[in-house]
Chains A and B, each alone.
Chain A
Amino acid sequence: DTAVSQTPKYLVTQMGNDKSIKCEQNLGHDTMYWYKQDSKKFLKIMFSYNNKELIINETVPNRFSPKSPDKAHLNLHINSLELGDSAVYFCASSQNPSGSSGNTIYFGEGSWLTVV
């Protein structure tokens, strides 16, 4: 059983399109995240939700909109895709916020987005 699963794993799309990446965790965690890994492997947090409420929203264009229908799901919707959006997007979860007692963050396998 995959603890944090995200789909699709690979996505190639044209500039200007709108796309979504879905994420589900079966760990019973309260906190979910989206991280972006750029071409230089640098990882940066985009969003964090705790019990379906937005906790962190880093400097991310408002073309990116997370949606959490329940605490087991955190989907990422991207409007008007640009070339610079090409990256690997990781969904993740933890029992509570990671900064609370150092809870481990569990990552999904990643979604490789290529905008052409």
Chain B
Amino acid sequence: AQSVTQLDSQVPVFEEAPVELRCNYSSSVSVYLFWYVQYPNQGLQLLLKYLSGSTLVKGINGFEAEFNKSQTSFHLRKPSVHISDTAEYFCAVTNNNAGNMLTFGGGTRLMVKP
């Protein structure tokens, strides 16, 4: 079985400040990890994903995430946020034994304030 925990349901931050959205996963096998963003009233868009190799993954819109196997974490970071980054962010996990199953965390609402 696999699971994902996003530790913060809401993260308020001022514009141009750095941000980190936390994600921890649980799985007994090697995993593939994803971050998706959902803007208000829209679908989910892939920000980045980790499959293998370098543990630092760069995505779109200036986001990056670091895979840490020992801490079973995949935290998302951005050095300087914009108002337009206000959205819901979802961490997700799957593995080769999971078939079609992509398991999502509960989401973190990033609120960027001017």
Contact = CB atoms under 8 A, between A and B. Distances in A.
Interface of A: 4, 31, 33, 40-45, 48, 50, 55-56, 90, 94, 97-102, 104-110, 112
B82 to A, nearest CB: 22
Given A41-B109, A99-B95, A99-B100, 17 more contacts: A41-B38, A42-B106, A43-B104, A45-B100, A48-B99, A55-B100, A97-B100, A98-B100, A99-B94, A99-B101, A101-B96, A102-B32, A102-B94, A107-B36, A107-B45, A108-B43, A110-B42
A102 B49 CA distance: 8
Contact of A44 (B41, B95, B104): B104
Given A90-B43, A107-B43, A56 B51 contact: no
Contacts of A43: 44, 90, 104, 107
Given A41-B107, A102-B32, A102-B94, A97 B99 contact: yes
Contacts of B88: 41
A7 to B, nearest CB: 13
Contacts of B7: none
A42 B97 CA distance: 23
Interface residues of B, number: 27
A98 B102 contact: yes
What 10 A-B pairs have minimum CB-CB distances, sorted nearest first? A102-B32, A48-B100, A99-B98, A107-B44, A43-B104, A97-B100, A107-B43, A109-B43, A102-B51, A41-B107
Contacts, number: 77
B74 interface: no
A58 to B, nearest CB: 9
Interface of B: 32, 34, 36, 38, 41-46, 49, 51, 88, 90, 94-102, 104, 106-107, 109
A105 B93 CA distance: 12
Contact of A40 (B36, B41, B49, B106): B106
Contacts of B99: 48, 55-56, 97, 99-100
Contacts of B104: 42-44
Given A45-B102, A56-B100, A101 B107 contact: no
